[in-house]
Structure 1
Amino acid sequence: MSHHAFFSALAMALTLVGFYPYLRGILSGSTRPHVFSWGIWASTTLVVFFAQIEAGGGIGAWPIGASGVLTTLIAVLAWRRRGDMSITRADWVFLVLALSSLPLWYLTDDATWAVVVLTVVDLLGFGPTFRKVRAAPYSESCGFYGLFALRNAAVVLALEQHSLATVLFPAAIGVACVALVLLIAWGRSRGAASA
């Protein structure tokens, strides 16, 4: 087995392990995902997957494709189970930015521009979570984001071609996940110190 195949399989396993509790929470009714956010993330992740394939990411892009499929499943479940349906003006801006990546990719005939736009959209999506975790560090799971940081590192190692179009998305999202884990840990330690 090549190292690309090994790291791709590892990233796929981490993807499945990471999403399983979230999906189980939706099905049990304890988790109510925001339908619009997950719809945007599904579209961005799937477009990045296709851009990575076009840019030669090969087997290393497959975990991103799997994430796109699972994220789409979560968006559909959020819609069917009437998850969080509150939609803000910022949600519409994110949707327009995500959708703008497709004509940009078509007009430039360069997958890199689509990946850059989609990475920025996904990173902006972390903003509300960072703000929430700063105020309530126990409201998010360190393990979930730590797992996805590891998964994205495995994706980068699994890629068959390393270019801005293939590496930017998993690397940037992995760094954001690490930053979120550190913020959660810092907030929890600050709370424990003041107790």
Structure 2
Amino acid sequence: MKEVLSAVALLLTFAAFLPYIRTILHGQTRPHVFTWIIWGAGTFVVFLAQLSDGGGVGAWPIGISGLLTIIVAFLAMTRSADTSFHRMDWGFLTLALTALPLWWLTNTPLYTVLILTGVDLLGFGPTVRKAYSQPYEESWTFYAIGAIRNGFVILALEHYSWTTMLFPAAVGLACLLFIGMLLIRRRSVPLPARGGN
């Protein structure tokens, strides 16, 4: 049963990322580079920590998500990135990058996941700031699928602990809060001529 739940989470991972990548390639979505760099690095390390704590097949969707996130970061840098970096964005990036080496120093999977979950949530900072003023440059469906996917990740875990559950639970909740902010802002900001999703 865990394998089936993990497979559903993997399918949802691809269902979220492939259309999102397509919208980047078509210039419809302009992801914030800093956010995706932070997310890519952190997500893959959390995957390794989950594996070390017995997460089993439930950890694999996080690992695949980490790899796909790194691809989005690369596309954000080379294709259609939002290159409007504000002082606050640099602050989020600096906090995240200074926190990443701490996981190595702790040498404990739980501390690693605690630190990297905090880093991942900091990664939302530049995207939230950008999406607040330009809510049509982000895809709410991507984050909705991500929230659902994280629910399946939790169900698919072979071992339940703070180490294995914290990251997908926190990221899933953050996705839901981001969607709420995005939809509220879209009611206040007129739709641009080129459209949004």
Query: In which range does the TM-score fall when normalised by the shorter chain?
Result: 0.7 to 0.9
Structure 1 portions without partners, runs of 5+: none
Report the equivalent of 2:149.
151
**2:44–2:66 CA contact under 8 A, matched in 1:** yes
Q: Which moved more, 1:157-166 or 1:27-36?
A: 27-36
Secondary structure (helix, strand or coil) at the match of 1:33 reads coil
Which amino acid is the alignment partner of residue 42 of structure 2?
T
Q: 1:89 to 1:53 in 2, by over 3 A?
A: farther
Q: 1:162 to 1:130 in 2, by over 3 A?
A: same
Q: 1:143 to 1:82 in 2, by over 3 A?
A: closer
**1:40–1:94 CA contact under 8 A, matched in 2:** no
Mapping for residues 72-91 of structure 1, pairs under 5 Å: 72-81=70-79, 83-91=81-89
Mapping for residues 22-33 of structure 1, pairs under 5 Å: 22-33=20-31
Report the equivalent of 1:98.
96
Report the equivalent of 1:47.
45
Matched, 1:171 2:158: no
> How many residues matched?
189
Deviations 1:96-137 (A, max 9, x none): 443445543333220111211111122233345455666666
Q: 1:95 to 1:47 in 2, by over 3 A?
A: farther
Distance in 1 separating the partners of 2:104 and 2:131: 38
Structure 2 portions without partners, runs of 5+: 190-197
Report the equivalent of 1:6.
4
Q: 1:58 aligns with which of 53, 56, 59?
A: 56
Cα deviation, residue 156, structure 1: 0.6
Give the aligned CA root-mean-square deviation in angstroms.
2.6
Cα deviation, residue 74, structure 1: 1.1
**2:47–2:63 CA contact under 8 A, matched in 1:** yes
Q: 1:108 to 1:139 in 2, by over 3 A?
A: closer
Cα deviation, residue 171, structure 1: 0.1
* Identity across matched positions, percent: 52
Which amino acid is the alignment partner of residue 92 of structure 2?
F
Q: 1:16 to 1:113 in 2, by over 3 A?
A: same
Matched, 1:15 2:31: no
Q: TM-score, normalised by structure 2?
A: 0.81
Report the equivalent of 1:160.
158
Distance in 2 separating the partners of 1:83 and 1:137: 15
